[in-house]
């Protein structure tokens, strides 16, 4: 049921391809090109869209969000031409590449945008599911981080019931990693100190 027909060389090629795409630090590149300096020296120190937003440039943050997602989509979708296993391997590596880019001393972002991008690349209909859960949770709680955590928790369950068992197992792993990367946010949510959407804090 969970056989892996790819040989070691195709799997390694898919992993390398995905990692190289995922490790492109768009947040850092865009902020430097815009003359805003090193985004790693402000806020959380992450290279993702949330920290780019702390520069005050919403358009740059939106571009970072889009590009961080699309690199996951490209890795998974292109590699999937050689089979779903190749897409899964490349998507997994793209996600890890964003979190742990070798070019930046393995210090990257938290991965939500790339998570969504890989989801889009492997099972496009799941983008609507993720978005619906995120929007509903954000509307009710006003917490962006909680919305992302809930949406990532729901995704592998929905994938499993839709019959995408291998992809569901991938996203179970990605969800666990995402929650680990958001441990500080979880602590603030528990203590009631996490910033809400629209908050100046």
pLDDT single digits (tens) 134-173: 999 999 999 999 999 999 999 999 999 999 999 999 999 9
Predicted pLDDT of residue 53: 82
Low-confidence ranges of the chain (pLDDT < 50): 1, 201
For 154, the 3-state DSSP assignment is helix
Contacts of 31 (CB under 8 A, 6+ apart): 37, 38, 39, 52, 55, 57, 60
Predicted pLDDT of residue 85: 93
Predicted pLDDT of residue 1: 47
Tell me the domain boundaries of the chain: 7-122, 124-201
What's the CA gap between 32 and 169, in Å, rounded? 37
Predicted pLDDT of residue 197: 80
Nearest to 151 by CA among 166, 167, 137: 137
Q: Tokens standing for 112?
A: 């939500």
Predicted pLDDT of residue 90: 97
**Residue reference for tokens 């179970």:** 172
Nearest to 147 by CA among 106, 189, 181, 97: 189
What's the CA gap between 157 and 171, in Å, rounded? 9
**Residue reference for tokens 């528990």:** 190
Predicted pLDDT of residue 2: 54
What's the CA gap between 84 and 157, in Å, rounded? 19
Predicted pLDDT of residue 199: 67
0.85 surpassed by pTM: yes
Nearest to 145 by CA among 185, 173, 108, 183: 185
């Amino acid at each position: 049921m969970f056989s892996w027909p790819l040989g070691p060389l195709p799997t390694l090629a898919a992993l390398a391809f995905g990692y190289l795409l995922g490790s492109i630090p768009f947040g850092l590149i865009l902020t430097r090109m815009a003359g805003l300096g090193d985004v790693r020296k402000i806020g959380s120190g992450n290279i993702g869209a949330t920290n780019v937003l702390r520069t005050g440039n919403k358009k740059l943050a939106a571009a970072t969000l889009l590009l961080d997602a699309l690199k996951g989509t490209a890795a998974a979708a292109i590699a999937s031409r050689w089979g779903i296993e190749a897409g899964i391997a490349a998507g997994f590596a793209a996600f890890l590449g964003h979190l742990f880019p070798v070019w930046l001393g393995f210090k990257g972002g938290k991965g939500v945008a790339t998570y969504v991008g890989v989801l889009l690349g492997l099972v496009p209909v799941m983008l609507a599911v993720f978005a619906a859960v995120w929007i509903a949770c954000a509307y009710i709680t006003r917490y962006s981080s909680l919305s992302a955590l809930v949406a990532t928790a729901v995704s592998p369950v929905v994938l499993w019931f839709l019959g995408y068992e291998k992809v569901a197992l991938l996203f179970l792993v990605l969800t666990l990693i995402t929650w680990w990367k958001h441990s500080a946010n979880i602590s603030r949510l528990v203590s009631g100190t996490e910033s809400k959407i629209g908050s100046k804090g």
